[in-house]
Each structure stands twice: as C-alpha cells, then as structure tokens.
Homo-oligomer: A and B are copies of this chain.
Amino acid sequence: MTTIQQPTGDNDRFERGLALLKEIGGPDGPAVLESLGDIAPDLGRITVEFGYGDILSRPGLTLRERELTTVGALAALGHAAPQLRWHINGALNVGCTRTEIVEVLIHASVYAGFPVALNGLTAAKEVFAARTDLPEEPAPEPAPTGARFERGTAALSEIDGEAGEQVVAALQDIAPDFARLLVEFSFGDIYARPGLDLKTREMVTVAMCTALGAAPQLGVHIHGLLNVGGSEQEVVEVLIQMAGYAGFPAALNGISVARTVFAERRSHRNADA
C-alpha cells in the first residue's frame, strides 16, 4: 500500500482502517487504490480512513453482515462491477459461504430485477473460480416447491406483518394478479429459500432499498427486519453503511424512513399498553 498517502491527522483512523481493509480484502490491498496513487492519492487515504476506519469499523453489525449487505447493494446499483467483485472476495474472506453470497444475489432479483441478479452471479462465478483456497461446502438444501402461494403468504405475514399485508391488499383493486405473483415469487420462492437466514435477508433488503431509493419498500422492510429479530441499532448501521456505497443522500433519505417506522412502532406499543 505504499502509494496510498499516509495520514498527517489527528487519530488512528488510518491504522484502524488499513487493518480492516486487509482483513476484508487480503494483504495486498485493492488494486484500484494503488493504481490511483499518481492521480488522487488522497482518495486512497480517504477511502481507508472514512470507508474502513469510520464506517466499516463501527460496532453493531458483524463483518459478515457488513459484507453481505454491501454485496447486495452493489449488485442492486448495477454500476459498480469492480467493487462488487472486491466485496464478493471480501465476503469470502470474512467467513461468508459461497451459498450465502449466491443467495444474496438471487435475492436481489426481487428488489432490483433479474438482470442485476444474473450479472451479480456472473461476477461471483468469476471470483469463486479465481480462488483455490475455498473450503468444501455442503450442497445447498433444495429450494421448496409446491404450495407457493400458501408458503408465500405465511412468509409475508411472518416477515412484514401488517405492512406487508397492506401492500398486497392495496393491489387487489388494480392488479390482483400482481399481488399473487408478489406473494408466490418474492415470498414463496425467494424468501423461503434455504441458505440465508431471514434476518440477513431483511438486512440485505434494507440495504438494497436504501441504495435504490425505494422509500415505500424500505419502510415495509425496516418493519420486517425488526419483526424477524433485528434491532433499531442494526437498522441504523445498515443505513449508515450505505453512505459509503450509494452516497449520503441515499443514507439520509433512509434515515428519514427509519425515523417514521420507529415512531410508528413506539406509538403502536404505547397504544397496546
């Protein structure tokens, strides 16, 4: 990392960031930072200090969760192929399985469309093929089949509760077929798949909806993450992390949605008390 400008600053952000960057990316550091040494050495330093020293070093999420949400968001944005490959590698380095990474990318089909999922999996295939150090993994359990609507309805109810049911109900007058497809495909096919637990699926969903600016769905799935065992702190951490990958506007708009959801749940609890 000799070409990354060293900090002259006031704290250990650079050292902390560089150590984490090497834990995630491996000892060599990202080629893109090295290659910018002659044109924008500052940006290498800032990426290390801010991206890794400030954001990714925060407590509140595991590194595995940070890498899987990042892979989901970069895939959904669709325009950051080098970074997507880097973080697929990073996810492997911090202990994510190939199955989990594949599941995150398949999950992206729901929130950003099939092209995103297909292109993400093509990237994953390349990254996996370049690694000779990956342990054997058990074959993934088969995905469930049959009774898609019933399974989807149960999953929707478990995950998104009332908010999810309202989405489906609101479609009945105008596009009832689409309500059925939403339940069958999104919840019956995808959410019900083995290989990635529901809480991580909701974290990834929150990350993707934040990166894409899909505010109504972000609200539903912040509820969802809280419903399947996530905490308000975890929600906020996912949103903060998106500042680095999709920009501060995306993160700030996500925080606005979270504030509303947190208040709704508080007022609901008070009403119950």
Contacts and interface: CB of A to CB of B under 8 A. Distances in A.
A213 to B, nearest CB: 7
Interface in A71-98: 74, 76-80, 82-83, 98
B42 A240 contact: no
Nearest to A245: B113
Give the number of times this chain occurs in the complex, counting copies: 3
A245 B115 contact: yes
Interface stretch (A20-28, A154-162, A180-188, A196-204): A180-188
Interface stretch (A61-69, A223-231, A253-261): A253-261
Given A186-B248, A243-B181, A39 B146 contact: no
Given A146-B10, A249-B212, A249-B216, A79 B82 contact: no
Nearest to A217: B249
A173 B47 CA distance: 27
A117 B80 CA distance: 10
A265 interface: no
Contacts of A243: 113, 178, 181-182
A106 interface: yes
26 contacts: A7-B145, A8-B142, A9-B145, A10-B145, A10-B146, A10-B147, A32-B122, A36-B121, A36-B125, A42-B106, A43-B117, A46-B106, A46-B109, A47-B114, A55-B181, A77-B78, A77-B115, A80-B119, A109-B247, A112-B246, A113-B242, A113-B250, A167-B252, A178-B255, A181-B243, A216-B252
Interface of A: 7-10, 32-33, 35-36, 38-40, 42-43, 46-47, 50-51, 54-55, 58, 74, 76-80, 82-83, 98, 102, 105-106, 109-119, 121-122, 124-125, 128, 142-143, 145-148, 167, 170-171, 173-175, 177-178, 181-182, 184-186, 189-190, 193, 209, 212-214, 216-217, 236, 239-240, 242-253, 255-256, 258-259, 262
